[in-house]
Chains A and B, each alone.
Chain A
Amino acid sequence: MKKRPTVGEILQAKGVSRRGFLKYCATTASILALPPAMIPRIAEAIENARRPSVIWLSFQECTGCTESLTRSASPTVEGLIFDAISLDYHHTLQAAAGDQAEAARHAAMEENDGQYLVLVDGSIPLGNPGFSTIAGISNVDMLKETVAGAAAVVAIGSCAAFGGIPGADPNPTGAVSVMDLVTDKPVINVPGCPPIPMVMTAVLTQFLTFGQLPELDKHGRPLAFYGQTIHDRCYRRPFYEQGKFAETFDDEGARAGWCLYKLGCKGPTTYNACATAKWNSGTSFPIEAGHPCLGCSEPNFWDGGGFYEPLSTGRFDSGAKLAGAAGIGVALGVAAAAAGRSKQAKFTKEG
C-alpha cells in the first residue's frame, strides 16, 4: 500500500508557514466546536495525520448537499480539507464518467482497503433498482460493493441519513436510508436539507485529525453539531419566554424579530447547529431571516406536521369521526338514562 503524505507535509509543500498552520488549526478547532485550549493537540494531530481516501457516492439526491459543500471554493479552510483528503471518486464533481470512472473507484478501494471513507448523499431506492443507477449499476449494489472495504460510512444530508424527500409519504421508489442497509460498518449521519457545509467538513476533519469518528446521538448524528436544539440556542428565545410572537409574516412582531412559534417553527424538536454556526459563513439562518425552522435535520420531517402548523397542534382525524364519537356518547347516555329511569320507576313504586 502506498504511503500517503501527512497533512503537515502537504501544507509545508504548499508553502504554508507555521503561523499559517496555527491559524488553520485555530479555525479547525472552531469548526470542530472544540475549545481553543485544544488547539495544540489539534496541531499535533493534523501534522501527523495521513491523508485518507474518500469515495463519494451520489444516489437519489437533488445534489443540494454537494452544492452546499462546494460553496466555499479553495483555498479556504474547507477547500484545504479537500486538498488534504484525497477525493478519489465523486461522480458529480469529477470530469470522468463511465467505465474509466468506475475503474478509478475500484482502484481506490483496493489500494486503501479497510481504510477509506465512503460518503453517501441521496436515498437508495429498493422498489425497483432501475429507479436510480450509475454506469448501469443500481444504487443498492454500488453501496454494498463500495462499503465492503470501508473504514466508515458518512450519510450526508437527510436523504441518505433518513430517507429524506424520496422517502416521504407515499415513498413511490421504496427509498431507504444508508443505515437501513449498512449494518456492519460504523455509519455517521450528517442530516440537514442540506447540512451546513461547515458541519460536513468538520466530520471529515474530525476523522482526519483524530483518526476516529465523533460521538453520536441516538440518530447517529455527531453530538458536537446535533447535540442542541435550535430552540435552545436561538437568539429569539427571550421573545418566546416573554410571550412575544409573530402572528403572521411581515406583521409588527415579525419585523421586530419576535419568536416564530405560532408560524410553525420546529426549533424545539430540531437538533442542528444553525443557530450558532449559521449559514453562508455565519451570515444568517432561516429564523434570523424571518422564516420558521422546518426541522430539516430530523427523521421524517416532511411528514411531521405542516411547516406552518405550530408544534403543539394535535394530529387529529377528520371531524366526522369525532362526531361519530359524540353520537356514541349520546346513544350510551340515552341507554344509561333509560336504565336509570326504570330504576327510578321501581323505587317510586316501592316507595
Chain B
Amino acid sequence: MDLLAFAKGPALQVAAYIFVAGTIWRIVGIVLLKEKVDYSEPRKSAGLMAALKVIYTRSFTASPFKRATLYPKMLAYVQHLGLFAVIFLFVPHIMFFKGFLGFDWPGLPNNIIYLLGVASVVASIALLVRRLTSPVLKLISNFDDYFSWFVTVLPLVTGLMIPVRMGLRYEDILAVHVLSVVLLMIWFPFGKLGHAFLVFVTRGTTGMVFERRGAKT
C-alpha cells in the first residue's frame, strides 16, 4: 500500500474514530456535569435566545477594549475566515465532505482559495510572533497553545504546497497533506482546539447565567 492509499484509508479512518469519539466524550462530559445552583432571584427568564445572543455578541469586542485588541482581533478573523473558506469552499474538499454527507454546495475558484489560504498562514505566523513576543502571552502559553497552532497551520502549508509543487510529486504531497489533516483530527477534541465546538457551549452558558441575573449582555 503506498503512502497516499494509507493516508486516505486506514489513517483517515482511525482519525475519524478518534475525532468522533473524542469530541462526543468532551461535550458529553461537560454537558452532563451538575449545574451550579444559582440561589439568587432570577431577574429574567433565561433560555436558548439568551445563549444565542451572547454567542453572537461575544464575536465583537466590548467598546473599552476595542482599540487595544484591534490588531490581534483582525489577525484572528483573517486566520479563522481564511481557514473556513479553505476547508469548506474549496471544491476538492467539498467533494470529500460529499463522500460521507451525501450532498455538496458551491465552492470558490481555486485561485481565490489559494489567496485566502496564504492570508490565513500569514495571519497565523503573525499571531505566533505576537504570542512569542508579548510578555503576558509568553508567560501563559503552554504546549497546548503551540501544538494546536502547529497542527492547524500544517494542513494549510501542506495544502498550499500541492499547487506550488516545488518539484515534488503530486501524490506524495497529497499524502503528506492528508496525514497532516489526520494529525489535526486526532488532536482536535483534546487540546485547546476543542474551542471550535466548545466556544458555543461556554458562550451560551455564560449568556444564560448572565441573562438570568439581569446583567447587560
Contact between chain A and chain B defined by CB under 8 Å: yes
Q: Which residues of A contact B (CB under 8 A)?
A: 229, 231-232, 240-243, 245, 261-262, 268-269, 299-300, 304-305, 309-317, 321-322, 324-326, 328-330, 332-334, 336-338, 340-341, 344-345
Q: A241-B111, A328-B25 are in contact. List 16 more A-B contacts (CB 8 A).
A: A229-B170, A269-B170, A269-B174, A300-B5, A310-B92, A310-B95, A311-B95, A312-B99, A313-B99, A314-B13, A314-B16, A315-B12, A329-B24, A332-B25, A332-B28, A336-B25
Say whether B23 contacts A329, CB under 8 Å: yes
Most buried by B among A261, A314, A337: A314
- Counting CB contacts under 8 A, is B22 at the interface? yes
Asked, given contacts A269-B174, A333-B24, whether A316 binds B12 with beta carbons under 8 Å apart, the answer is: yes
27 A–B pairs (Cβ distance < 8 Å), ordered by A = A231-B170, A241-B109, A242-B109, A243-B91, A243-B107, A243-B110, A261-B91, A310-B92, A310-B95, A310-B98, A313-B99, A314-B12, A314-B13, A315-B8, A316-B16, A316-B99, A316-B100, A321-B17, A325-B17, A330-B25, A330-B28, A337-B29, A340-B32, A340-B33, A341-B32, A344-B34, A345-B34
Closest to A336 in B: B29
> With an 8 A cutoff between CB atoms, is B77 at the interface?
no
A-B contact count (CB 8 A): 127
User: How far apart sit A332 and B28, CA to CA, in the bound complex (Å)?
Assistant: 8
- Are A313 and B26 in contact (CB-based, < 8 A)? no
Q: Tell me the minimal C-beta distance from B187 to chain A in angstroms.
A: 16
B171 CB to nearest A CB, Å: 5
B2 to chain A, nearest CB (A): 8
Q: How far is the CB of B108 from chain A (nearest CB, A)?
A: 6
By a beta-carbon cutoff of 8 Å, the part of chain B in contact with chain A is 2, 4-5, 8-9, 12-13, 16-18, 20-34, 91-93, 95-96, 98-100, 107-111, 170-171, 174
Write the chain B residue with the least CB distance to A240: B110
* B91: A residues at CB distance < 8 A: 243, 245, 261-262
